[in-house]
Amino acid sequence: MTISFLLLAAITIIGTAAAMTLKNLVHCVLALTLGLVGLAALYLQLGAQFVGFTQILVYVGAVAILAAFAVMMTRSANQTLTQTASSFRASGALIAVLVFAVLAWAIYSGTSKQPILSAQPEGTVGQVGVALMHHFVLPLEVIGLLLTAALIGAGILAMDEHRGNR
Amino acid sequence: MPEMIDQIFVVIKHWLMGYVPGALQPIASAILSVVPVMIAFPLLFAITTVLERKGLGRMQNRYGPNRAGWFGILQPMADGVKSLTKEDIVPRTADQLVHYLAPVVMVIASFLVYAVLPIGRNMVIANLNAGVLFFFAVGSVVELSVFMAGWSSHSKYSLLGAMRAIAQMISYEMPLVLSSVVAIMAAGSLSTVSIVNMQAGYTGIWPHWYVFTPWGITGFIIFMIAATAESNRCPFDMPEGESEIIAGYFIEYSGFKFALFFLAEYLGMFATSAMAITFFLGGWAAPFSFLTWIPSYFWFFAKLLTIIFMFIWVRGTLPRLRMDQLMNFAWKFMLPLSLINIVGAGIWHFMAAGFARWGVVSLLIVLSCVLLSRGLRRNKWFHVRTYRYAS
């Protein structure tokens, strides 16, 4: 529980809480991005450089932009949240509490059985790459195939049918 | 003596660290590393603006700035004073907080990437294990700040500019990353320092830079084209397009915030150029073995200025692309070519050294380059060339 951990945790929690409570949807996206940056910083604090930088690259560089554009394209950016959102508040809180309970139970029951490693495992980028190329090569290929299929599908959906493939 | 001059900044830092009490050592070390970089590169920005305006003026048969100082070399000072004293106007309907944060986020992201750039021998702020990944991850934050600036201004021009800029930056980030993969493959590391170290050494007087291989020169050219697009410079300056959308996403900014955008744009350009130097041009190494007595940081900045000159030259030479040409070029030419280039680098790695692999890899790249550029055109094969203007 160092000061840096507390600061980063505070940033993450404030960002995600603001993402749920702010009125303007673009502000929500930006607040969510702040939360994701805080999460990436927490990964970095744990020594997981690859996960931390990939988190920034994917979530801040791509997903945040995608979400912002989705918000802008589908509705007016000035439109504030209407009353519909608040009617789900009770059920949403219930679901959140249940998910938190399940996760907390899993973590507590998991840690007691396994011995806590005294030495910090080194998750360098090189080791991650070696593991991906040797042990997990089949899942990697399957994911690659899936993403390629998704990319081609997105291209076909976006293609203008009347004017041929441009 | 040459080693002494080469390491003079490192030695000075260690000498200063001797006066710092033990508890403050880490933070003092960080400050002593960061502050020179934060002074040197904005200074380079100031020099570059006047060089660019003089160079463009020369290419366009006019004088360029010639009033402040001798031949206009004090022009950056005048510009700085002007932008500091100008009124900071924020549109009434603008989103105040996001409008304020956008240039700040952009400048922070642009400065952060300098942490992993090897400026000279033993001169890098942070030798990260995943330095290249850090560079691209932090660089992608710039796109978010572009969106913030364009959206928060509540102006149609700035929103259009932001959308153009983001579409272009996302499209060209793919070839930028994929073209640098060849250098990472060859070096076997994601650390910028070890990529530079792998290119050290000389055969005769010639260095072992990756740019002197078929895949290296292809990767370098793709990287530089993508870097031009990433930094929104001519001929890829669609996001700014003065004649169409006035100035793009930062149209509603004035005074020092506008200057911050300008600074961030140039800092991004320097950083990507420095990354191209790291990947393909041997970092801070001397171009010939008999010139190694000249300090390493001199070579780094000499290479950087050469690349900046290329940027200015291209800007003064080429007209602006159209949006569909821009996208077609990124997705139908640059992306496949950079993928084929990776295959070429793999073949190069597994073939025996000699002329055979030169021939095979060069043939692969040249052939795919010709076929892909044919594929870009409407009439696929060799015809009389016809030109289509706005459709």
CA distance linking residue B276 with residue A144, whole number of Å? 28
| Closest by Cβ to A57, choosing from B98, B129, B140 | B140
Q: Is the pLDDT of residue B126 over 90?
A: no
Residue B383 in domain: no
CB contact (8 A) between residue A49 and residue B130: yes
Closest to B36 (Cα-Cα) out of B145, B119, B158, B139? B119
Owner of token pair 């004090």: B74
Select the residue from B27, B95, B323 to test the A interface by mutation, using most A Cβ atoms within 10 A: B95
pLDDT in tens, B148-166: 888 888 888 888 888 888 8
Owner of token pair 């041929």: A164
Domain ranges of chain A: 1-79, 136-166
What ipTM was reported for this prediction? 0.77
B:302-361 residues touching chain A, CB 8 A cutoff: 324
Ramachandran angles phi, psi of A80, nearest 5°: -95, 165
How far, CA to CA in Å, does A133 sit from each of A69, B50, B326? 35, 49, 35
A:26-45 residues touching chain B, CB 8 A cutoff: 26-27, 30, 33
Residue B387 in domain: no
Indicate the residue type of B159: L
Select the residue from B190, B339, B380 to test the A interface by mutation, using most A Cβ atoms within 10 A: B190
pLDDT in tens, A19-76: 888 877 888 888 999 999 999 998 888 877 888 888 888 888 888 888 888 887 776 5
Q: Is the pLDDT of residue B343 over 70?
A: yes
Q: Hey, which CATH number is domain A1-79, 1.10.3720.10, 3.90.1150.10, 1.20.120.1200, 3.40.50.720?
A: 1.20.120.1200
pLDDT in tens, B10-39: 788 878 888 888 778 888 888 888 888 888
CB contact (8 A) between residue B129 and residue A49: yes
| pLDDT confidence of residue A115 | 61
Residues B101-123 have a mean pLDDT of 88
Angle, CA of B124, B284 and B180, to the nearest 5° = 80
Please give the share of chain B, as a percent, with pLDDT higher than 70.
95
Measured over the CA atoms of residue B184, residue B185, residue B191 and residue B194, the dihedral's sign is: negative
Helix B255-280 vs helix B25-59: angle between axes, to the nearest 10 degrees? 100
Select the residue from A28, A56, A63 to test the B interface by mutation, using most B Cβ atoms within 10 A: A56
Q: Which DSSP category does B378 fall into? A: S
Q: For the stretch A149-160, what's the b/e string if a residue is b when 16 or more beta carbons lie within 10 angstroms of its beta carbon?
A: eeeeeeeeeeee
pLDDT in tens, B185-236: 888 888 888 888 888 878 878 888 888 888 889 999 999 999 988 888 777 7
Closest to B164 (Cα-Cα) out of B326, B317, B312? B326
A18 touching B, CB under 8 A? no
Q: Is the pLDDT of residue A102 over 90?
A: yes
- Please, which residues have CB within 8 angstroms of residue B203's CB and are 6 or more apart in sequence? none
pLDDT in tens, A104-142: 988 887 765 666 665 566 667 778 888 888 888 999 999
Residue B381 in domain: no
Count the domains in chain B. 1
